Amino acid sequence: MSPTSFLSASRTRMCAGAAAIAILGGAAGFGLASLSRAPSEEAAAGHVGRKVLYWYDPMSPSQHFDKPGKSPFMDMQLVPKYADEVGGEPAVQIDPSLSQSLGMRTAMARMGTLSSAISATGVIAFNERDVAIVQPRAGGFVQRTYARAPDDLIRAGTPIVDLLVPEWGGAQQEYIATLRTGDVALSRAARQRLLLLGMPASTVAAVEKGRRTSTVYTVTAPVGGMISTLDVRPGMTVSPGQTLAQINGLSSVWLDAAVPEAVAGSVSPRQTATVTLAAFPGETLHGRIRTILPKAADESRTLTVRIELPNPGLKLRPGMFAEVNFAGEEQQALLVPSDAVIQTGKRSIVMLALDKGRYRPAEVRTGRAGGGQTEILAGLAEGEKVVTSGQFLIDSEASLSGMDVRPIGGKDNAAPNGQPAKAETYETRGVIQKITAAGVTLKHEPVPTLQWPGMTMMFRLEKPVLARGFKVGDRVRFTFSQEEAGPTIRSLSREAGK
């Protein structure tokens, strides 16, 4: 091959290689351009026909950008804000098809009847106001106990024990002697002495009538009921005032019912109650609340409501189990399903279902609950729709977007006195990554209240002086609020020992 032909062939191969490289480079460039297309661009492309007004960082929604890309505050893509989302009440918008696939359900706040009747369980107990203590008024010796035993049921006047009182003998003889003299004053004095020695009036009358001494007398039960204690045996020596027995009366009994403290405000003394017992099926008893004990049970968080019940025939026995229903009037109230209410620990929130797939959290004040319904005292109007299933997903999205909860009263960012409401603050810890005039970039721990994971982001400073004395790498504890301009640090302090 001649030199000229060789050079020509080489030049041809070089041109072909350059063309191939150019083609490959173009393909690679197209591929890289496609791969580097931001998710936010794809999101915008997925909403063909919708006009994008600006792009924003969900963690700092007040900062607007004219093109998509990565947020300058943290490692995440900017999100488009569409023209049809601006104006009207602030809300989270969810595609209706997604709502349907999530099984999201709504219900309307409506006026309804919520019964104030309360049911509870209880146990029959002794009426501690009907207790008799049996004591002798004179000392002596036990001659007979009538074979009584604890837990025996006895009637009033039933003999308990016979006592021999030797010192009565001499005093009775003196009384008989004064009666024979006919001296009225002397006889009256002798009789008074017998009574002071503890002799029953009936025994004194028997001595006066029969003119014979009687040193044995029978101690009887002052009330009918159950012998709870019996501390006397034949042959014992007893002294005046010594307790021989204790009798719990059964003419009336107590029913101690355990009422949850959450509904205890609906019961009051002298309120009527109906009682049914497993021992007497089909029979209903009626009573009134006598008192509500002042202390709640630590384990069950219930209050003891005490009802006094008459006990004819002594058929109600302590220890019996009973069910109690406290009467209450049915009242009209604004109701929503109990599943719609989110309890945050500090307040109660429902998720409002607006038009065109929009949702917004609203604070409410709740009242009574029952039958799967909860009373709304404030924060909702009749006819408003609330989410009953899937509301936690919407609440999470609303928290991430920094959306304010609609306050009770319906006026956003306004306090009852017309002054701007103080923004709610949140607290967490983190490590300073960067300090600039615009704010502080922190790698912070999760914020459970906002459902924020741990991440690195920039926070504005309420006052520039807050960052004075701090440096990159410091571990700090800080509080912040969600403002229109973005998350704003309210306080900043170095962690102890750091």
Cα–Cα distances in angstroms (integers) from residue 158 to residues 136, 147, 223, 295, in the given order = 15, 12, 9, 39
Q: What Cα–Cα distance (Å) separates residue 494 from each residue in 164, 262, 401, 473? A: 87, 42, 28, 11
- Taking residues 398-426, what's their average pLDDT? 57
Each residue's pLDDT tens digit, 454-463:
888 888 898 8
Residue 320 pLDDT > 90: yes
In single-letter form, the type of residue at position 267 comes to: V
In angstroms, the CA 247 to CA 229 distance is 7
User: What's the CA gap between 131 and 222, in Å, rounded?
Assistant: 10
Segment 157-182 mean pLDDT = 89
Using CB atoms within 10 A of its CB, is residue 347 exposed (0-12), middle (13-18) or buried (19+)? middle
Say if residues 54 and 28 touch (Cβ distance below 8 Å).
Answer: no
Identify which has the larger pLDDT, 147 or 56. Answer: 147
Mean pLDDT of 235-252: 90
The arithmetic mean of pLDDT across residues 87-107, rounded, is 67
Cβ–Cβ under 8 Å, residues 335 and 373: yes
Confidence check: pLDDT of 260 > 80: yes
Please provide the average confidence, as pLDDT, over all residues in the chain: 78
Cα→Cα distances 492→106, 169, 456, 464, 474, Å: 42, 94, 16, 11, 11
Longest Cα–Cα distance of the chain, Å, equals: 181
Residue 321's pLDDT is 93
Instruction: Name the range with the highest mean pLDDT among 85-99, 297-311, 370-384.
Output: 297-311
Least confident range from 99-108, 219-228, 258-267, 426-435: namely 99-108
CA distance 104 to 358: 13
Q: Is 148 exposed, middle or buried (0-12, 13-18, 19+ CB in 10 A)?
A: middle
Q: Give residue-wise pLDDT tens across range 19-56.
A: 444 443 444 333 333 333 444 454 445 455 566 767 77
pLDDT > 90 fraction of the chain, expressed in percent and rounded: 15
CA distance 271 to 252: 18
Q: Is the pTM higher than 0.95?
A: no
Q: Which residue has the higher pLDDT, 476 or 421?
A: 476
- Residue 497, pLDDT above cutoff 80: no
